[in-house]
Each structure stands twice: as structure tokens, then as C-alpha cells.
Amino acid sequence: MQQALLKHQWQQAAGYMHSYLQVLEDWDVIKRQAAPEIIWKLGSEILFYHPKSSVETFNTFADRMKNIGVMNYLKISLQHALYLLHHGMLEDASRNLHQAETWRYGDKSSSQEVLINLVQAYKGLLQYYTWSKKKMELSQLDEEDYAYNTASQSMLNHSWKTSINLCALIQIPGVWDPFVKSYVEMLDFYGDRDGAREVLTNYAYDDKFPSNPNAHVYLYNFLKKEKAPREKLISVLKILYQIVPSHKLMFEFYRLLRKSEKEEDQKLGLEVLFGVLDFAGCTRNITAWKYLAKHLRQTLAGNRLAWIQELWDSRKNWWPNFHFSFFWAKSDWKEEKTLACEKALVAGILLGKGCRYFRYISKQDHQVLKKKMKRMKKSVKKFSIVKP
């Protein structure tokens, strides 16, 4: 059956499945217990891809399967709901989840609890969709209107239910981005800023959670919207910088640091830029090179050679080959002249006039960039940390 599935022969697989169902009454207990899960796994896959299956067939199958393996009820319900969601049947999915939520069997084990929480969270998410839809409608309505009041009333009801559904799950360690996002949005809408902040802080800083960069991003965006003081923002981004030094928010972090008057922040700014450019995915990021060139010039003008030396020491044995090789000089010049100029300036400052990248670029003749080139050569002459 698996082979048929892997060869995309859905009809054949359906045939095999038909005969596999016998396993359900197998004498072997272990086999019999494992069977519902296999049947569900493979059966749902067949039905998902089978050219002739429909949503109705899937629904019947899922309903039957739920009652066969008692232990699998919640899992199947959840996936069934997702399937419905996928087919755009939000209400059916919601009903399904509601059923699952009220289902109980035997002792409540911890895994069941987690699953129920998850079911509730998904339900909450669905409610959130309806809520945000209503919000959209509301924004189109006139405030004086009678309809506005009723609509906002129902929205309130909704959100209260939803938040209850969502908040249980996000206490459990995990990656709950969509849930947290919607939960915070709702809390924020009703003015519970402290609650929202608490949720986000918890999500970002709790040790039990995996170090999810998004958690910090959400917190930062929230604080930014709140117009929190710069120090606060910097401290949030500092942690993000520790986790993901290549994140796109690093540029914002850098700008924040530049605005700060503190010297150490300036130094950190330089470090951030070097850090971003360390990554292979960022080597052709012109913003980073531009910032770096400017910052280097200013730092050197401010007689802070030691900062650069310190950062450069760990990089000087591989940056030349990584960034400033002859190959890159050629291809950068060919594809993006401005990038090449910025890089050449940095190369000239860090490696001196003799460096291949700088030599190659400065030898090129270009009408439009002539002025820029001249300026570049001058500043290299003036600032280069390598004394000839």
C-alpha cells in the first residue's frame, strides 16, 4: 500500500486499503491496536489525493475512524478540522472542534490534556477569524448606526470566548505563533495592553519555550507600536541579536543604536553590521555595506581605531577571501556597480590600497560614478587602517 502511495497510484492504494481493513479484527492485539492509526494515516492520504474522493467521503471516513480507535479521537478530529479548513469550510471545522472539545474518555492523561488545549486553540483561532471579519465589517460601518452597536456587542462576546480558548494553550511550551499573534491582537483591541505585553514577554523570555525569534519580533513590534522608550526597544533587539544576528530587524536595531548617544551603543552598532555581513545570505546586502562604509569612516574620523581592530582581528583571515576576492570584484562590478563601490571603500579601509578588490574597482572607468570613485579613493587614502 505504501509503495502504491509513493508511486501515486491512488486507485491501487484504495484497493489495498480495502483489504487491509481486515487487520481490525486481527488476533494479534498489538497489531490490532496499531491498525487504526495506520488506517487513518494512509486512508486519509489516499482520500486526500484520490482523484474521485470528495469532501463528503472524507467526512464520513473521518467520522467512522474517530470511533474506532478511541485513543485517536482527538487527533483525528483535529486533522479533520484542518482538512475542512483547508477546503474553506470554516463553520464545519468549528463545529467539529467543538465536538472534540467536549469529548472525554477515561482518565485525563497529560497528552489528552494537551490535545484538548490544542483543539481549543484551533477553535479559538477560527473564532478569531470570524472576529476579525466582523472587525472589518465594523470599520466600514458608521459609528452612529444602530447596527454598529449590535455588531460590536457580538464582537465582544466572541473575543471573550476566544481569549479563553487561546490562553490555555499558550502557557504550554511550544511554537504557537498564529495563536499568540491573534490573541495579542484581540487583547490589544480591547485595551488590555498590560495583558498583551505580559503574554508576549512570557512567550519570548520563558526558558521552557524554544528560542523562537518570532517571539522577540512580536514583542518588539508591540513595544514599537506602544512607543516604548528607546532603551527598552534596544534591549529587546539585543536579545534578538544574540539569537539571530542576521535578522532583518538588525538594520532597525542599528539605526536605533546610531541614534543613541552612548559610546558603547555606537560600538555595538558596528558590531551588528559586521555580524550581519558575516552571513552568506547577506553578502550582497547593499544597505549593510553602505552603513558599514559610513560608520567606518566616522569611527575612524573619531579616532576609534581600536574598535575596528578588535572586530577586524577575528575576521581578517577569512573576510578577504569571503568578500573581497577577485571573483567577487568582477561579478559585483558586472551586476551592481553601487554595491561594488561601497564594498571597495570598505575593502580599501580595512585592507589598504593594495587589496585586489579595491584595485580592480578603482581601475574601472565609469562616467556616472566618477565622482563617487574619486571620493572613495580619497577616503581610503585618508582612513585606511593599513598603513602603507
Query: Considering only residues 43-82, where is the footprint of another protein by CB under 8 A?
Result: 43-45, 48-53, 57, 60-61, 64, 68, 75, 78-79, 82
Query: Considering only residues 262-281, where is the footprint of another protein by CB under 8 A?
Result: 278-281
Cβ closest to another protein, residue 280 vs residue 368: 280
Cβ closest to another protein, residue 254 vs residue 383: 254
Query: Considering only residues 302-361, where is the footprint of another protein by CB under 8 A?
Result: 314, 317-318, 320-322, 325-328, 330-331, 334, 336, 339, 356
Q: Whose CA is closest to 279, among 249, 239, 325, 319?
A: 319
Please tell me what DSSP assigns to residue 171: T
The nearest distance, CB 229 to another protein, in angstroms, is 26
* Residue entry with cell 514599537: 224
Among 55, 138, 141, 244, binds another protein (CB under 8 A): 244
DSSP assignments along 81-128, one per residue: HHHHHHTT-HHHHHHHHHHHHH---SS--HHHHHHHHHHHHHHHHHHH
Stretch that binds another protein, among 96-104, 138-146, 191-199, 213-221 (CB under 8 A): 213-221
Among 138, 141, 172, 385, binds another protein (CB under 8 A): 172
Query: What are the cell numbers at 374?
Result: 574619486
Q: Assess contact for 50 and 10: CB atoms under 8 A.
A: yes
Among 66, 100, 176, 384, binds another protein (CB under 8 A): 176
Query: Considering only residues 88-147, where is the footprint of another protein by CB under 8 A?
Result: 88, 90, 109-111, 114-115, 118, 121, 125, 128-130, 132-133, 136
* Contact pattern for another protein over residues 186 through 205, marking x by CB under 8 A: --------------------
The nearest distance, CB 277 to another protein, in angstroms, is 11
Task: Please state, in angstroms and rounded to a whole number, the distance separating the CA atoms of residues 349 and 309.
Answer: 12
Query: What are the cell numbers at 276?
Result: 550581519
**At a CB cut-off of 8 Å and minimum separation 6, what does 212 contact?**
175, 177, 203, 204
Written in H, E and C, the secondary structure of 208-222 is: CCCCCHHHHHHHHHH
Stretch that binds another protein, among 99-107, 146-154, 169-177, 342-350 (CB under 8 A): 169-177
Q: Checking phi first, is residue 352 left (phi over 0); if not, alpha (psi -120 to 50) or beta?
A: left
Query: What are the cell numbers at 295?
Result: 560608520
- Binding of another protein by 178 (CB under 8 A): yes
The nearest distance, CB 362 to another protein, in angstroms, is 17
Burial letters 301-313, b for 16+ CB under 10 A, else e: eeebeebbeebbe
The nearest distance, CB 200 to another protein, in angstroms, is 14
Amino acid type, 36: P
The nearest distance, CB 10 to another protein, in angstroms, is 7
Among 8, 227, 371, 387, binds another protein (CB under 8 A): 8
Among 143, 144, 194, 208, binds another protein (CB under 8 A): 208
